[in-house]
Amino acid sequence: MSTANMTRAEKRQARRFRRFDNPWINPKLVWGIGLLLGILALGVIGRIGWDLDLVFTGSSPLRLPPVGFENLRGQAGIGSHPIGTDGGGRDMLAMIIVGAPNTLFVGLLASVIGMSIGIFLGFSAGFIGGRADDVIRVSADVMITIPPLLILVVFQSAFGDVSLTMMALLIAGFVWQSPTRLIRAQVLSMKQSGYVQMAQLSGASTGHIMFREMMPNLVPYLFGSFIASVTTAIVTAVGLEVLGLGPQRIPTLGRTIYEAINAGALIQNLWWWWGIPTLLLAVIFIGLLLINLGLDEVSNPRLRKLS
Amino acid sequence: MGRIPRSYLINRLMTLILTILIAATIIWIIPRLSPVDPAEIALGRMASGAGSVANSEEILAQLRANMGIDQPFLLQYFKYITGALVFDFGLSTAAFPTPVSTLILNALPWTMGLMILSLLITFFIGNLLGALMVWDRSPKLVKVAIPAAMVFTSIPPILSGLLLMWVFSAKLQWFPLTGAYSIFVEPGWTWAFTQSVLHHGFLPALSIVVVTFGFWALGMRGLMIGVQGEDYVKLAEAKGLRPRYILYRYMIRNAILPQITAFALKIGLLIAGQVLVERIFAYNGMGKLLYDAILNQDFPVIQGVSYVIILITAISVFLVDLLYPFIDPRIRHSEA
C-alpha cells in the first residue's frame, strides 16, 4: 500500500509501528533533549553574538521592559535590550545567557558525581554483601531522609559565598542515595538470574560480569536515575539561590529571582525580571521530565501501548 | 493483619535514631568549621546599633562565654545533643533573648497546617487523576487534558508560587500578597480570623498542589497499568460488578499501596519545597523563620529549624514504614 491512499488513522498507525522499531527514538525523549539543547544553544550562541559585559550592574538603564511593552514609568522597550533590564541596570538577555547554562552545569556536575558514587557503592553492596552491604545500605537509608536543602542552608550561611563548582560538589553529597539503593536492588536480583549464574559458572571474571553482563541491563535505569538526580540537584540549587545563598558574584537564574522578589518586582509589575528566569527554569524542568518519561517507555514496554 | 516483628521494629528504630543523630551532628559541625565567629557577628550587631563599642575584647570574651563557644568542642557537642533531644537550641541571637524553641513553636503550626492540607489535596487529586488516565471508561477529556497539564508538574512550587502570586495577588488582587493572616484581625478562634487565614493560605497551598499532583498521577498511572490486566479485575468484570465499584475497590485499592511508600520518601523534598514557598509568600511558618535567620546570621535558629524539619521527615518515614503492613496485609516484614 502506498502512503498516498492511506487514511490519516492508518498513517498514524504506520508511523507508530515504525517509531517503536527503536524505543530510544520516541517523541518525549526527543522533545526533552531538544529543550535542554535549546537552553545550551542559548548559552553558546549568546556568548558569541551578545555583549556579555552587560551583566555588570549599572551597564544599562534601570527597569526597561522588553520590546513592545511599557513599564510603569511609561518607558518603552528598546532594541538594544530586547528582553528588558533589571533593577540593577543589568541586561536580562546577557543575564540569562550566562545564568541558564550555569543552572544546567550545577545539575549535571552534581549528578555525574552522585551517580558515580552511587554506581560504585551500589555494585559494591550488591556484590560483596555482608558487612560492606550493611554499612552502605544503612548509610543510604539514613541519608535519603535528610533534605539536602536544609543541610546546605546551614553550610552556606556559615561559609558565605561559594563558587558554582563548590555548590555542585556539596549537592553531589545528597544525590547518591537513590542510585545506590536502585543499583544495589538490581544487582541483587540479577545475581540470581540465569545468565549471570551461567557467566559465573563459566568462569567469567567479576569485572566481566559487572560490565558486560549486568551493566547493559542497567542502562535504562541508570539514565532514569541520572535524570532524576539532575532534577533534584537543580531544584536544590535553585532553592539555595532563591534564599540568597548561592554564588553571589555569578548570575544564576535563582539569584535573579531572589533579587527580583527582594526588590518588590511583583508589586511594581516588573514581570520580565522574575518571569524570564522562571520561564527558563520551567523549560529546563519540563525538558528533564520529558526525558524521564521517554526513558520510562524504553525500560518499561508496557507503557508504550498507551501513549 | 500484619504484625510487626520486634527485630524489624528495632532495626527501623535504630535507623531513625541514627538519621537524627547524624543530621544533628552535621548541622553542629558545619558552623564550627567556618571561619565566621558568631561572637563577632553579635558584636557587629551591637556596634551597628550603638554606633561604637568600647572594651570590645572583654565584650567578645563575655559573648563567647555566654554562647558557650569557649568550652572544649566535645563538651559543646555533648551539651548540644542533649539540648536537641529536648528541643533546646539556646537563645536566638537576632531576637535576643527569645529561646529558639519559642520561635519554632510559633512557626510550626503554620507550616504543619499548610503542609498537611496541601499534601492531602495533592495525594487525593493526583492518585484519582492518575487512575482515571488508565481507566478505559473515563471521559476522553481526562485522557487528553491531564497528560498536557502534567508537563507543568515538573516545576518546583516556588516557580508556580511566583506565577500565581503575580496573577492573583498583584494583577487581579483577589488574594493578599504576603502574610498568613491580615494585620487588621486579632488572632484567635473567631470567624473573621479563620476567614483571613484561609484567604491567605489559599495561594501558597494552591502553588504546591498544582505542581505536585502530577508526581502522584504519574506513579498511579504506571501502577494502574500493572493492575489493569490482573485476574481479579477480570473476574470482577465477569461477575458483572459496576465498573465504578471495580475502579475504586479493586483497582485503586490495590494500585495505591506503593504510592504510600513513595509518600514517605517524598516528604523531605516536599517540606523543603514548601519552605521556599513560605519564603516568597512571607507566610509566618518555618520557611520565613529560616529565611529571616539566614539574613541575620542567626545560627541557633538556622540549626533549630533545620533540625526540626529533618526530625519531622525522619519520623514520617519511620511511621509510614511501620504502618505499611497494616495498609497492605500482603506485606509481611521478614525477621531478617
Contacts 24+ apart (CB under 8 A), B149-153: B149/B214, B150/B214, B150/B217, B150/B218, B151/A286, B151/A289, B151/A290, B152/A282, B152/A286, B152/B210, B152/B211, B152/B214, B153/A289, B153/B210, B153/B211, B153/B212, B153/B213, B153/B214, B153/B215, B153/B217, B153/B218
| Cα-only R_g, chain B | 25
B271 in contact with A at a CB cutoff of 8 Å?
A: yes
Q: Which of A147, A238, A271 sits opposite B310 (nearest CB)?
A: A147
pLDDT score recorded for residue A230: 92
Are B286 and B275 within 8 A, CB to CB? Answer: yes
Work out whether the CA dihedral B320, B325, B328, B332 comes out positive or negative: positive
| Cα-only R_g, chain A | 24
Are B336 and B6 within 8 A, CB to CB? Answer: no
pLDDT score recorded for residue B335: 41
Q: Which of B225, B275, B317 sits opposite A145 (nearest CB)?
A: B317
A215 in contact with B at a CB cutoff of 8 Å?
A: no
Please report which confidence band the pLDDT of residue A3 belongs to, taking 50, 70 and 90 as the band edges: low
Enumerate the β-bridge partners of residue B99.
B91
Are A118 and A174 within 8 A, CB to CB? Answer: no
Please report which confidence band the pLDDT of residue A20 belongs to, taking 50, 70 and 90 as the band edges: low
Residues 6+ apart with CB under 8 A from B120: none
Asked if residue A148 has a cis previous peptide bond (ω within 30° of 0), the answer is: no
pLDDT score recorded for residue A305: 53
Q: Which of B272, B302, B314 sits opposite A157 (nearest CB)?
A: B302
pLDDT score recorded for residue B331: 61
pLDDT score recorded for residue A1: 45
A160-177 residue pLDDT tens: 778 889 899 999 998 998
Q: Which of residues 70-89 of B touch A (CB under 8 A)?
A: none
Which DSSP state fits A202? Answer: T
CA–CA distances in Å: residue B224 to residues A18, B32, B88, B105: 27, 50, 47, 41
Of A209-223, A225-239, B142-156, minimum mean pLDDT range: B142-156
Phi, psi of A252, deg, nearest 5? -130, 160
Angle formed at CA B108 by CA B102 and CA B109, multiple of 5 degrees = 115
At residue A15, does pLDDT exceed 70?
no
- Contact state of B34 with A271 under an 8 Å Cβ cutoff: no
- Contact state of A154 with B18 under an 8 Å Cβ cutoff: no
- Tell which residue, A145, A258, A156, A46, has the closest CA to residue B18: A145
Angle formed at CA B59 by CA B53 and CA B62, multiple of 5 degrees = 165
In this prediction the pTM is 0.82
- A115's grid cell: 551517580
- Which residues in chain A are closer than 8 Å to B38, comparing Cβ atoms? none
Please report which confidence band the pLDDT of residue A38 belongs to, taking 50, 70 and 90 as the band edges: very high
- Tell which residue, B258, B316, B322, has the closest CA to residue B5: B322
Integer Cα distance of A86 and A83 in angstroms: 10
Q: Which amino acid is at A252?
A: T
Are A174 and A155 within 8 A, CB to CB? Answer: no
pLDDT score recorded for residue A116: 93
CA atoms lying within 13 Å on the CB side of residue A115? 21
Q: Which of residues 92-131 of A touch B (CB under 8 A)?
A: none
A155 in contact with B at a CB cutoff of 8 Å?
A: yes
Work out whether the CA dihedral A212, A215, A218, A219 comes out positive or negative: negative
pLDDT score recorded for residue B186: 72
pLDDT score recorded for residue A115: 93
- Which residues in chain A are closer than 8 Å to B268, comparing Cβ atoms? 145-147
Are B224 and B255 within 8 A, CB to CB? Answer: yes
Of A278 and B212, the structure prediction assigns the larger pLDDT to A278
- Which residues in chain B are closer than 8 Å to A269, comparing Cβ atoms? 170
Q: Which of A142, A235, A274 sits opposite B22 (nearest CB)?
A: A142
A164 in contact with B at a CB cutoff of 8 Å?
A: no
Are B272 and A146 within 8 A, CB to CB? Answer: no
Q: Which of A144, A261, A290 sits opposite B280 (nearest CB)?
A: A261
Q: Is A91 helix (H, G, I), strand (E, B) or coil?
A: strand
Are A272 and A221 within 8 A, CB to CB? Answer: no
Integer Cα distance of B134 and A280 in angstroms: 32
- B148's grid cell: 498536557
A105-138 residue pLDDT tens: 999 999 999 999 999 999 888 888 888 888 898 8
Integer Cα distance of A164 and A246 in angstroms: 8
- Tell which residue, B217, B214, B316, has the closest CA to residue B268: B316
Q: Which of B19, B291, B309 sits opposite A142 (nearest CB)?
A: B19
Integer Cα distance of B320 and A36 in angstroms: 36
pLDDT score recorded for residue B336: 36
Are B88 and B182 within 8 A, CB to CB? Answer: no
Closest residue in B to A305 (Cα–Cα)? B225
Are B255 and B216 within 8 A, CB to CB? Answer: no
Integer Cα distance of B32 and A17 in angstroms: 62
- A56's grid cell: 555588570
The number of residues making up chain B comes to: 336
A244 in contact with B at a CB cutoff of 8 Å?
A: yes
Contacts 24+ apart (CB under 8 A), A190-194: A190/A214, A190/A217, A191/A126, A191/A127
pLDDT score recorded for residue B79: 85
Phi, psi of A120, deg, nearest 5? -60, -50
Average pLDDT in chain A: 83
pLDDT in tens, chain B (336 residues): 446 678 888 888 888 898 889 888 988 888 888 777 777 777 777 777 777 777 778 888 887 777 777 778 888 888 888 888 888 888 887 777 788 888 888 888 888 888 888 888 888 888 888 888 878 777 777 777 777 667 767 778 888 888 888 888 877 888 887 777 777 777 777 787 888 888 888 888 888 888 888 778 878 887 888 787 788 888 888 888 888 888 888 888 888 877 877 777 677 777 778 888 888 888 888 888 888 888 887 888 888 888 888 888 888 888 887 877 777 666 655 543
- Contact state of B23 with A146 under an 8 Å Cβ cutoff: yes
Q: Is B99 helix (H, G, I), strand (E, B) or coil?
A: strand
Integer Cα distance of B313 and B300 in angstroms: 20
- Range A84-104 average pLDDT: 86
Are A284 and A36 within 8 A, CB to CB? Answer: yes
ipTM (interface pTM): 0.77
Are B177 and A267 within 8 A, CB to CB? Answer: yes
